[in-house]
Structure 1
Amino acid sequence: MAKPTKPTGTSRIKFIMFDAEIADDQIQSVTQAITNALRGPAGAPVVRRLPASTPANGHSEPAEVEVLDEVEDELDTVDVTPTAPRQKTVRKVKAPDIVEIEMHAPVSLADFAKGKDDGSQHKKFMIAAAWLAEHRSTPIVTDGHIYTCFRSIGWSTAINDFGQPLRELKGRKFFTTPERGHYEINHIGLDYVNKKLVNGAE
């Protein structure tokens, strides 16, 4: 029996089933077939079936040799380093400019707002716009007009974008926009302030 060549490397094999009677002079050829099977291209597992050789006595049952090509684990090629959480970006809008408005002559904004429900920012916007239209002859306002009113009366100005409530109120049909960035309270908006927002009104 010929001695097998000395291995120069290492190979990994997994035998699913190996049940055969092999003549001594056929062991080297079967070993070579297994080695060749392991040299196949990397990919999905491949099962190779090799017919068993007939022994010298001529009496053997059919048998198969199954060789499973192992697929190398690919996790080492995947970057699993956790990434830092993305920080939420908040778009900061510059505060509007102060507009010159006579705030304290009768009727003042403070007097006009008394007895009215100012429980939300949108209601405060409506009250300020109605006061400007009815008592300061300023039916068309900008976010600067509203900002000035808020600063004067002491309402919180912690609003990221003073134009957003105006756009939303325009969408609810309380304002019209004669031009970009300008808002005019309509009769629906005025009725809402003078009727619906009065404390005790039904």
Structure 2
Amino acid sequence: MIEADLSEGDLSQVTQAIQNALRPAQQPVRMLQAPLDRTPRAQDLDFEEVDLNEDLEEESIDTAKPKPQRNSKPKVAKTPEVLDDIDVNAEPSLKDFVGRFDLKSNFDKYLVIALWFRDARGVNAITVDHVYTCFRILGWSTASTDFSKPLQNLKGEQSLRGNAKDGYSLSLTGAGKIEAKKRPE
């Protein structure tokens, strides 16, 4: 609180000055009136002759370079390698093992291959190369643009665990799904 010995008139002037100082400055709005007739008359226009052959180097034109457009083609996945160190003929052979199942989709094929590696060969983690090699040996179509995508999808639905670098292993739910497709003997 500020104490001052001011007469009553002075106090109102000080108050008014403080209020004006704290109030945001307002710029006066000026309205420009547009001419009613916007069509220029030919006699009002000044025409200037322009030499189109003038050297443009004199003028500095600052143009922003557009960003190069990215190629809209989808990225093509690397074709997996055929592995030579898989014994597909030892009991149970790959062909006999796979023949025990009623496989209707590529997902079923991926799961049965993972099951064969786990149960018949003791290999828990498989890569896309393992699956691709088995597809080639069994004569199944390998005309996929991304042979690893079903592995990623099966991981997403928790039928497989792991990743592309360390390998995928069959989960309990994945094993249950494929074992449910086993044909009665």
TM score, norm. by length of structure 2: 0.58
Identity across matched positions, percent: 30
In structure 2, the partner of 1:69 is 39
Distance 1:172 1:102 in 2: 30
Structure 1, unpaired ranges of 5+: 1-45, 49-66, 71-85
Match of 1:98 among 65, 79, 82: 82
Higher relative contact order (CA 8 A, sep 6+): 2
Q: More strand by proportion, 1 or 2?
A: 1
TM score, norm. by length of structure 1: 0.54
The within-5 A match list for 1:1-202 is: 48=36, 67-69=37-39, 88-99=72-83, 100-177=85-162, 180-195=165-180, 197-199=181-183
Runs of 4+ in structure 1 deviating by more than 2 angstroms, as ranges, are: 178-181
Decide whether the 8 Å contact of 2:110 with 2:151 is kept in 1: yes
Q: More helix by proportion, 1 or 2?
A: 2
Decide whether the 8 Å contact of 1:98 with 1:144 is kept in 2: yes
Distance 2:134 2:111 in 1: 11
RMSD over aligned Cα atoms:
2.3
What's the offset of the Cα at 1:115? 4.0
Decide whether the 8 Å contact of 1:175 with 1:186 is kept in 2: yes
Distance 2:91 2:160 in 1: 25
Corresponding residue pairs, total: 121
**Match of 2:177, SS?**
helix
Distance 2:172 2:147 in 1: 22
